[in-house]
Structure 1
Amino acid sequence: MGKGDTLEIAPTPSAYRSVMEEYGYEMGKVIGNGSYGTVYEAYYTKQKVMVAVKIISKKKASEDYLNKFLPREIQVMKVLRHKYLINFYQAIETTSRVYIILELAQGGDVLEWIQRDLKLENLLLDKRENVKISDFGFAKMVPSNQRMHSSPSYRQMNCFTHLSQTYCGSFAYACPEILLGLPYNPFLSDTWSMGVILYTLVVARLPFDDTNLKKLLKETQKEVTFPSNYSISQECKNLVLQTLCQATKRATILDIIKDPWVLKFQPEQPTHEIRLLEAMCQPPSTPNRHQSLEINT
């Protein structure tokens, strides 16, 4: 979690403090607030490191969140380990609250590095200004092709055919399918959001106006434009255009990781990641625009 806008410097409630002290955490200041709880900075005395503690109130949270999305979030965070993801350390549950202990991103969030009114709070910065992704509240586990050899029907559940129907996220970052309330491919909705973030990083404003849903829907159906007073490479523009388009033509995560503009910034070829994504993103046998991504054996 990041040290973004400090919303308050109130004393830590004694109920929080006593539970956390029992586990070896010295609570510090508030560094964020959400719908169901608060994020605090804390010092873990056993390891002598600073951490973030996300405290979720069971009284404030909806039943759907507590029974469905929160367990999913914890399950996903437990198995994710990557240098560009916020690390999960521990979850503690009491009768009235859930405490989630996470890596503290001491550089704050990317929001602060662009302009104050953009929603990029889930991209955090460590003390060396490396980007770390946080907040897996709506993440879920999807079986990969490699685990599905027994049933032919299950073999089709991959990044081309799996559909979701949980309509979540901010309008400004949501793909047209979500805005229309249609079943959507979550892998492709994520690449749309990546396109919104990339556009915002290079242009310093969101590509679409989300103040009016009808206008937003109309804008997302058209090709995004770039301001003429910004010097943006054609390679970068091409990548944005490939992500901010209709789902049938939209770039997959495999397309993105193999994109020339993306590869230009990699210290080395991401061979391992490409191999894993190729295994996961093999399309069904029916020919389509991604047929060339199949692994040749």
Structure 2
Amino acid sequence: MVKSEDMDVNGNILMEKYELGRLLGQGSFAKVYYARDVTTGQSVAIKVIDKDKISEDGLIDHIKREIHIMKLVRHPNIVQLYEVMATKTKIYFVLEYAKNGELFDKVVTGKLKEQTARKYFHQLINAVDFCHSRGVYHRDLKPENLLLDEDDNLKVSDFGLSAFAESRRQDGLLHTTCGTPAYVAPEVITRKGYDGDKADVWSCGVILFVLLAGYLPFNESNIVDTYRKIWKSDFKFPNWIQPDARRLLSKILDPNPVKRATISKIKESSWFKKEKKSNQPCLDNSLASSTTNNQESTRPPSMNAFDIISLSHGFDLRTLFEEPRLQKEARFTIWRPASVILSKLEEIGKNVRMKVSKREAGLLKLEGEKEGRKGILSIDAEIFALTSCFHLVEVKKSNGDTLEYQKVLDEGLRPGLEDIVWLQGDEQEQKVSEQDQ
């Protein structure tokens, strides 16, 4: 039973939607509970974050990044984030529930059968490969962060230390030292910069060794000795690991990141391809692909990952930490080509009796026909490309009275865009599928 002082709940029901159950785990600023959707009966995990704690520790941006990353990496072998909710004191991540717990619990008692290890490694590599294709580096891959669902399929979790490709410095490398010592790549230890993808591959290699051997390749009595062995890739194979697996592990655990096996090379290895099953989970191509037959004559600017933390009104986390107030800007995310959105904005402008003019690709100016309380009301509407058919529209007042702007926003722009704004879950997948037909 969850105590009411632990969370903002009515009895044992959160937001009139989720019945909360046992505690699954906890960290320094968050607790994870088992829960059940009272409408559908679906089991979920709810991560409860203390808002005051993350504000005190300066972790607001950290939480925003984690939310965006989990929305970006939707894959069968990655724990899914269903929704985010908030009260005055707490933030709630509603997550996919992995019934069979951590992979760590399986390996802590010893090695796995080779076929089982191969299955989990396939799923791990597929998930990590997908993350990298989206410009996301996990940076803390280890068995404790790999969960198993009721069908015993692997799910990568805990993206709290992850980074975007945009985080790289001018030298093209990441420089934040993070991760779990036994699984961290040697180049990360040097603090001279590292490639996120190559560092993740090293961690995958350590995980594979643990699955096959039943113990860590680098695990000395003190951290200095452990780092020395990591730096030299000084480890020994147990006699039961087969030659083709040894060859693969030697290539993955190469201390020189330039010579280290890439994910494509891993997939080509004889051990990886052995007994490959056709029924492994795969990504729906309609979601994996961001291409479309539509060709825009003028493309709106693209946005980097940090620009799109606030994907919609519902995900604008400023409202979690600030008092409600009249805002000068609003954002919508839309699964339509830019040309459709431009036409819709022009139509809305005419309906609210504002003159519409195009300034440059993806940017419209809406101006009032008459002078208001503080001059002519002027609104900028800018379209940013997230993918070829997924766009963010930012609307903001550039001149005039805020109350007049709010009226246009509430009575014109918001309802006018309502039929093409962000769709969640199955509705989103259906929209993508319809566009691909």
TM-score, reference length from structure 2:
0.52
Look up the match of 1:57.
Answer: 50
**CA 1:13–1:269 in structure 2 vs 1: closer, same or farther (change >3 Å)?**
closer
Look up the match of 2:102.
Answer: 109
Look up the match of 1:261.
Answer: 271
**CA 1:269–1:52 in structure 2 vs 1: closer, same or farther (change >3 Å)?**
closer
Q: Deviations over 1:68-106 (max 9, x none)?
A: 221111101112221111111011123322110100000
Look up the match of 2:201.
Answer: 191
**CA 1:269–1:103 in structure 2 vs 1: closer, same or farther (change >3 Å)?**
closer
Structure 2 gaps, min length 5: 112-141, 289-437
CA apart distance, 1:12: 3.5
Look up the match of 1:226.
Answer: 236
Bigger relative contact order (CA 8 A; separation at least 6): 1
Q: 1:30 aligns with which of 5, 23, 26?
A: 23
Look up the match of 1:237.
Answer: 246
The answer as to whether partners of 1:110 and 1:124 remain within 8 angstroms in 2 is: yes
RMSD after superposition: 2.9
CA apart distance, 1:58: 2.4
Letter in 2 for 1:213: I
Determine what percentage of the aligned residue pairs are the same residue: 32
* 1:138 aligned onto 2:138: no
Is the deviation greater in 95-104 or in 59-68?
Answer: 59-68
* 1:100 aligned onto 2:93: yes
Q: Distance in 2 between matches of 1:164 and 1:87?
A: 26
Q: Distance in 1 between matches of 2:268 and 2:58?
A: 36
Letter in 2 for 1:133: V
The answer as to whether partners of 1:167 and 1:181 remain within 8 angstroms in 2 is: yes
**CA 1:267–1:242 in structure 2 vs 1: closer, same or farther (change >3 Å)?**
same
Structure 1 runs, 4 residues or longer, greater than 6 Å off: none
The answer as to whether partners of 1:108 and 1:126 remain within 8 angstroms in 2 is: yes
Q: Deviations over 1:124-170 (max 9, x none)?
A: 11112111111111223337xxxxxxxxxx9xx9xxx8411222111
Q: 1:175 aligns with which of 185, 209, 220?
A: 185
CA apart distance, 1:60: 2.9
SS at match of 1:28: strand
Would you say how many aligned residue pairs link Structure 1 and Structure 2? Answer: 248
* 1:83 aligned onto 2:92: no
Q: Distance in 1 between matches of 2:58 and 2:252?
A: 30
Q: 2:34 aligns with which of 25, 37, 41?
A: 41
Structure 1 gaps, min length 5: 1-9, 144-153, 277-297
Letter in 2 for 1:90: E
Look up the match of 1:217.
Answer: 227
**CA 1:67–1:224 in structure 2 vs 1: closer, same or farther (change >3 Å)?**
same
Larger Rg: 2
Q: Distance in 2 between matches of 1:92 and 1:269?
A: 35
SS at match of 2:164: coil
**CA 1:263–1:12 in structure 2 vs 1: closer, same or farther (change >3 Å)?**
farther
Is the deviation greater in 243-252 or in 109-118?
Answer: 109-118
The answer as to whether partners of 1:105 and 1:127 remain within 8 angstroms in 2 is: yes
CA apart distance, 1:267: 2.2
Q: Distance in 2 between matches of 1:91 and 1:116?
A: 36
Look up the match of 2:4.
Answer: 13
Q: Distance in 2 between matches of 1:224 and 1:237?
A: 14
The answer as to whether partners of 2:8 and 2:89 remain within 8 angstroms in 1 is: no
Letter in 2 for 1:22: M
SS at match of 2:244: helix
CA apart distance, 1:62: 6.1
Look up the match of 2:149.
Answer: 126
**CA 1:46–1:53 in structure 2 vs 1: closer, same or farther (change >3 Å)?**
same
The answer as to whether partners of 1:17 and 1:26 remain within 8 angstroms in 2 is: no
Look up the match of 2:215.
Answer: 205
Letter in 2 for 1:136: F
Q: Distance in 2 between matches of 1:173 and 1:23?
A: 41
Q: Which is richer in strand? A: 2
Q: Distance in 1 between matches of 2:176 and 2:97?
A: 29
